[in-house]
Amino acid sequence: SYMPELPEVEVVRRSLQSFIKGLQIKKVSVFNRNLRYKISRDFDKKIINQKIIFIRRRSKFLLLGLQNHSVILMHLGMTGKIFIINNSSKKVFKTSFYYENEINKKHNHIIIKFNKFIKLIYNDVRKFGFVKIIPSGSIKENNHLRLLGPEPLNKDFNIKYLNTKIKNIKKNIKNLLMDQKLVSGLGNIYVNEILHLSSVNPLKVSKNLKIHQAKKIVKNVKTILLKAIKSGGSSIRDFKGALGKKGNFQQKFMVYDRNGQVCKKIGCRGKIKKIYISNRSTFYCLKCQK
């Protein structure tokens, strides 16, 4: 199964921004309170009649700000999906490209009806996602958010920051980039791609990175994430994308899932090898990743 990573969640955020920002919550139905964390009994009361005033993303979390200074904190887990339905035209919109338009109703856990005929469905087969209400003043102290490192696309994730962080770190660079305290939102697929583009071996001890390698990594983190967001993230299993567009970043994968194949880097012709690092499948080129 495939965890939505930062680009996927950012695509969902942008979709929600265009569909529900400024709308008012008219009705809340919770069919299953047993997600990763139990949905609180007063969830419905706390959000009813509230207007959605902002939709933000922090790492892989979505934050929906309400007028009453509370925030709906959501995490999609592994299989969480958000569908938007226009009740007057009966059209179903996906908020992301990595799932099909078919809604299996038995996995609908929450339905929120807004004004303007708009309805939001939270659907989650494996129930690893969660939805919580938190006061907007306590976002920084929230247990899920307080230890997260900088956003990879922000200016505070830069070469100076990475250099100070890797000084004495014996952890390999792949595990370090996956560490949410170092930088937030990077997941397995994109880290594989970032290290390949940077010509860095995933097993390299972090403190042994040369300055030019660290620079490349910072630059390529940004390049690859932006490219993935632009192409709708990675739909691993041939999904039709938001509003019919297909998330097609996986067609551009250079190493991920290419065990035994030839490196796509121009002039390389090395072979891609698959290994496991901390139980995660890791792909790298034996020739160009030093």
- Cβ contacts of residue 85 below 8 Å, gap of 6+? 91, 92, 93, 118, 119, 120, 121
Q: How far is the C-alpha of 66 from the C-alpha of 69, rounded, in Å?
A: 6
- Overall average pLDDT of the 260-269 stretch: 96
pLDDT for 5: 86
Q: What is the mean pLDDT of the chain?
A: 91
What token pair was written down for 279?
Answer: 């139980």
Q: At residue 233, does pLDDT exceed 70?
A: no
Q: At residue 96, does pLDDT exceed 90?
A: no
- Overall average pLDDT of the 25-54 stretch: 96
pLDDT for 239: 38
Q: At residue 46, does pLDDT exceed 80?
A: yes
Q: How far is the C-alpha of 270 from the C-alpha of 266, rounded, in Å?
A: 10
pLDDT tens profile 167-181: 999 999 999 999 999
Would you name the residues annotated as active-site residues?
4-5, 60, 280
Q: How far is the C-alpha of 23 from the C-alpha of 10, rounded, in Å?
A: 20
* pLDDT level of residue 228 (50, 70, 90 thresholds): confident
pLDDT tens profile 103-138: 899 999 999 999 999 999 999 999 999 999 999 999
Please answer whether residues 112 and 49 qualify as being in contact, where contact means their C-beta atoms are separated by less than 8 angstroms: no
Which range, of 15-29, 40-54, 97-111, 236-250, averages the lowest pLDDT? 236-250
Q: At residue 60, does pLDDT exceed 80?
A: yes
State the distance between the two ends of the chain, measured CA to CA, in whole angstroms: 30
Please answer whether residues 74 and 52 qualify as being in contact, where contact means their C-beta atoms are separated by less than 8 angstroms: no
Please answer whether residues 52 and 39 qualify as being in contact, where contact means their C-beta atoms are separated by less than 8 angstroms: no
Q: How far is the C-alpha of 196 from the C-alpha of 194, rounded, in Å?
A: 5
- Overall average pLDDT of the 45-67 stretch: 97
Please answer whether residues 191 and 234 qualify as being in contact, where contact means their C-beta atoms are separated by less than 8 angstroms: no
pLDDT for 205: 98
Q: At residue 229, does pLDDT exceed 60?
A: yes
Q: At residue 236, does pLDDT exceed 70?
A: no
Q: At residue 101, does pLDDT exceed 80?
A: no
DSSP output for 15-74: HHHHHHTT-BEEEEEES--BSSSBPPTTHHHHHTT-BEEEEEEETTEEEEEETTSEEEEE
- Overall average pLDDT of the 139-166 stretch: 96
Q: How far is the C-alpha of 251 from the C-alpha of 78, rounded, in Å?
A: 21
Tell me which of 238 and 199 has the higher pLDDT: 199
Q: At residue 79, does pLDDT exceed 80?
A: yes
Cα-Cα-Cα-Cα dihedral sign, residues 38, 44, 47, 52: positive
